[in-house]
Amino acid sequence: MNAVENLAILVPLKGFTVAKSRLRDSGVVGVDDMARSLAHRVLAASQPRPVFVACESTDVAEFARARGVDVIESTARDLNEAVTNAYRILSENFERLVIVHGDLRQPTGLGDFDPSPGLTVVTDSHGTGTNVLALPSKLDFTFHYGPGSAQAHERESRRLRLVSRVVTNSPWRFDVDYAEDIVE
């Protein structure tokens, strides 16, 4: 098995009609289409790696399948549970997983990403969130998405005695959560 086959990319996606609540709350128009466009770009940039979408939405599942992406349907209560379930399923067939948020502004190069051994955390532009997380499979890893996730994932890495690398200057640090994050 070559390096591409040993690594898969997981993109957890909320239903497009409910995703990006902070943008909706701030009155941004066309959020559904924006969420689709961002997700499409992330999925396309993740090629040629095997790419999987974890979702609870039929609309998102159809969207992913139309782009040649495998779907792990979920009934999870939150992002951490959805990622944990997908991580366990994918650990059966892959040695490493890269979990990528579906709202990166500049996802170019995801399909060529060769993370270092151990844990790699690509933070958001504030240095506190986790936009990209690479880790070995088959670990008893607890995902901590939400406020302060980058630091929480580093703590989890130490708990499991994994070497960790934190990347704060990647183009992947820019996601779209607020109106000021939108760049035309």
Over residues 123-135, the pLDDT tens digits come to 999 999 999 999 9
Structurally, how many domains does the chain consist of?
1
Mean pLDDT of 55-65: 94
Instruction: Give the pLDDT confidence of 96-109 residue by residue, as tens digits.
Output: 999 999 999 999 99
- Mean pLDDT in residue range 142-148: 94
Measured CA distances, 6 to 29, 71, 102, 118, 137 (Å)? 40, 18, 22, 14, 10
Query: What pLDDT, on a 0 to 100 scale, did the predictor assign at position 38?
Result: 95
**CA distances (Å), origin 147, targets 95, 124, 152:** 28, 11, 9
CATH number at residue 71: 3.90.550.10
Quick one: angle between helices 31-45 and 58-66, nearest 10?
40
Mean pLDDT, rounded, for 126-150? 96
Residue 148's domain spans which residues?
3-181
E strand spans, the chain: 7-12, 51-55, 70-73, 96-100, 119-123, 130-136, 164-167
Residue 92, pLDDT score: 95
**pLDDT recorded at residue 184:** 57
Q: What is the average pLDDT across 167-176?
A: 94
**95 pLDDT higher than 70:** yes
| Rounded distance between C-alpha atoms, residue 125 and residue 50, angstroms | 27
Q: What is the CA radius of gyration of the chain?
A: 15
76 versus 42: the higher-pLDDT residue is 42
For the chain, give the mean pLDDT.
Answer: 91
Q: What per-residue confidence (pLDDT) applies to 1?
A: 41
- What per-residue confidence (pLDDT) applies to 5? 57
Q: How confident is the model at residue 3 (pLDDT cuts 50, 70, 90)?
A: very low
Are the C-beta atoms of residues 91 and 8 closer than 8 Å to each other? no
Structure tokens, 129: 């969130």
Phi, psi values for residue 59, rounded to 5°:
-60, -45
| Residue 25 pLDDT grade (very low, low, confident, very high; cuts 50, 70, 90) | confident
Q: What is the pLDDT of residue 129?
A: 94
